[in-house]
Amino acid sequence: MADKAKTRPVILESGIPVKPVYGPEDIASVDPSEIGKPGEFPFTRGIHPLMYRSRPWTMRQYAGFGTPQDTNGRFKFLIEHGQNALNVAFDLPTQMGLDSDDARAEGEVGRVGMAIDSLRDMQVAFDGIPIDKVSVSLTINATTPILLAMYLAVAEKQGVPLTEVRGTTQNDILKEYIGRGAWIFPVEPAIRMIADTMEFCARSAPKYYPVSVCGYHIRESGATPVQEIAYAFSIAREYIRRVVARGLNVDDFAGRLSFNLDIFGNLFEQVAKFRAARRLWAKLMCDEFGAKNPDTMQMKMIAGGGGGGLTIEEPENNIVRGAYYALISALSGTQTMALCSYDEAYTIPSQKAALISLRTMQILADEMGLTDTADPLAGSYYVEWLTNEMEQRIVAEMKRVDGEMGGIVQAVSEGRVQAEVAHQAFLYEQKIASGEIVKVGVNKYRTEGEKSSQDVELHEYKPEATEEQLRRLAQVKAERDGNAVQAGLQRVRDDAQSGVNIMPAMLQAVKSYATVGEITNVLKQGFGEFKEPVRW
């Protein structure tokens, strides 16, 4: 006799209701070619035939604080303990185009990332780190052309030709308007400079990834998993269209566009999100852009355990959460993995916390069997059904952006996407408060009366580090060739106004040791500054 007992309703964050049981009938309409094989179109099961059996995921912890010397020490610590790539954090002044001696930078120099003022700082940060062997991701956006030029100049000084430089810049300004707020210039000139970096790298640094489109930050700001992918893909399509309009073939550059995507929440929803996204991206590149090269159709990604899922309460629980986020990342078929450390709800990760996160990824790769076979969840009735459902909903949301919102650029310029994400963030917090979304130790199994941060080592802000950074900046300004600096800045000004690719001028300027703030001020004169729209 069938069990007639009532079951609790389950609705995923993406709005998808989940049945208690799934079976063959739920995937009867699924075309087997939509699932396919790993390494074959449409790449639902992963972009490589053997996936982690041939090469485990790259481990790339986010790191950076204080002076370039401080960060260089953390880089070397992580590499010594088995990390095989770097993910660089920059402080807010650097992100916002301010030099460390700018009055607006006071109190923020080196606080949430590494302070970079000139090429000399970048040289110090990567001293003793072989750029030709260690892939480096620069988490920078509005000032990307400046910081990318500095990094390429360091590579040249290390004897690495631009054609051999590997790595990534985040360089996704549209998500900054949506999710983080670290923007400087109006939307159009900001996108123009992204296209400049993509075109320049396609022609001069073909192994480099100049853009990592960040659904991650959109999700962390409140978007649902469906919206995360839909908005990220809408953004990526816009960047590609801009470069195609310059006369480049999509197969000449789009294979060097990657995605930074978020993990927290329901395990199966997250895995299905990534499988659906990979399949949809392959179709988009083939059908919309006419890509012929399979490499162009592959969605390359870093899947990171999201800080949005961590809790201030009982911070040690975040170690467990991080392990599950890493499990999701591995089951989803990511190429690169990063984890927020358990103390990041409070502070810049301590050395101990960062090592725990690195060891978590290493344990998964070497002890738990996650590298034994590709896409082990394939064929699950629930996973395949949910993958299809996620794809359909992502497509519907992208069509809404194109239709109701007038396209992603107009939607961002008018604040429409920002309003959508803010609304979802409000709904999410309501569900946390009501207990509809469970957070262990927060709204369920809560231990009253304990100090949440008792075992968290807070990162100490050191004023003396700021003083050292200011001293080094003053020294650079005193020792450099003033005429060369002015010539470099003038070329940036001229090229910004004329519309030619800005990157050659950036390289000239940074090699003269013009500073981040000086170059940004020149760009502001030509482009103006963004004024944020507010929608209610």
Q: 381, 346 in Cβ contact below 8 A?
A: no
Nearest to 307 by CA among 216, 373, 368: 216
pLDDT-derived band of residue 361, with 50, 70 and 90 as boundaries? very high
The pLDDT, as a whole number, for residue 305 is 82
The pLDDT, as a whole number, for residue 3 is 55
Q: 348, 65 in Cβ contact below 8 A?
A: yes
The pLDDT, as a whole number, for residue 450 is 62
Cis check: omega of the bond before 68, within 30 degrees of 0 = no
pLDDT at 137 over 50: yes
Mean pLDDT of 255-259: 97
Summarised one tens digit per residue, pLDDT across range 161-204 is 999 999 999 999 999 999 988 999 999 999 999 999 999 999 99
Summarised one tens digit per residue, pLDDT across range 423-444 is 999 999 999 999 999 999 999 9
The two structure tokens encoding residue 469 = 């950074």
Alpha helix stretches (DSSP H) within 90-143: 92-95, 119-125
DSSP 90: B
Sign of the dihedral defined by the CA atoms of residues 155, 192, 170, 93, in that order: positive
- The mean pLDDT of the chain is 94
Please provide the distance, in angstroms rounded to a whole number, between the alpha carbons at the two ends of the chain.
53
Core vs surface per residue 351-388: b (16+ CB within 10 A) or e: eebbbbbbebbbebbeeeebbeebbebbebebbbbbbb
Q: 418, 425 in Cβ contact below 8 A?
A: no
Summarised one tens digit per residue, pLDDT across range 498-511 is 999 999 999 999 99
pLDDT at 147 over 70: yes
Determine the residue type at 254: A
Strand order of the β-sheet with 58-59 is 58-59, 336-339, 300-305, 257-263, 211-214
pLDDT at 490 over 80: yes
The two structure tokens encoding residue 373 = 């076979």
Q: 23, 347 in Cβ contact below 8 A?
A: no
Mean pLDDT of 5-19: 89
pLDDT at 1 over 50: no
* The CATH fold of domain 55-434: TIM Barrel (3.20.20)
pLDDT at 60 over 90: no
The pLDDT, as a whole number, for residue 536 is 57
pLDDT at 237 over 60: yes
Q: How far apart are CA 360 and CA 386, in angstroms?
A: 27
Nearest to 185 by CA among 529, 532, 531: 529
Residue 220 zone, left/alpha/beta (φ > 0; ψ -120 to 50; rest): alpha
What pTM value is reported for the model?
A: 0.94
Domain boundaries, the chain: 55-434
